[in-house]
Copies of this chain bind each other. A is one copy, B any other.
Amino acid sequence: MQLLSCYLFQKLSQSQIEQIAAITQEQQIQKGQWLFHKGQKATHIYLVKEGAIELVIKVEDTIEIPIAVIRPNDGCVGIGALVEPYLYSLSARCLNDSTLLVIEQPKLQNLMRSNPELGCTIMSNLAQKLLARLKETRQEVKIHFMNLVRSASF
């Protein structure tokens, strides 16, 4: 099942996965359409069933820094929906015509509240992913830093 491929839902039991599946819906979305913009209230989590979603940071309206392209089995977008203050931290746009699996934030929050074991597993999975991303991003800063040190040395 597609849900099982998402890092958020790893280590969940079969019955826990079925509880997630029960609050998941399919949605068609067209190429070029925005799912959400940075700073908006995070109302949904999206998994890609078919197609692709690109995550970007917009700089000064005209420039976009590409962060990642999410394809089937690549995880999910919209994790701001799991973390206070529940805002999207990036912008997401459909790269191709896509079929998404969509989970509404309040339904997932209710499920996690009524089943803290499921909640603890999902939040542990999320923390693990965020720490890995933080390390990658720090690595980029380190490379920039080293380039600055090197350019200052010559």
Contact = CB atoms under 8 A, between A and B. Distances in A.
Interface of A: 57, 59-60, 63, 65, 67, 79-80, 82-84, 89, 112, 116-117, 119-120, 123-124, 126-128, 130-131, 133-135, 137-138, 140-142, 144-146, 149
Contacts of A84: 124, 128
12 contacts: A57-B142, A59-B146, A63-B149, A65-B141, A79-B131, A84-B124, A84-B128, A112-B120, A119-B120, A120-B120, A137-B137, A137-B141
Q: How many subunits of this chain does the assembly comprise?
A: 2
Contacts of A59: 142, 145-146
Contacts of A83: 124, 127-128, 131
A124 to B, nearest CB: 5
A134 B38 CA distance: 14
Contact of A119 (B116, B126, B142): B116
A123 B127 contact: yes
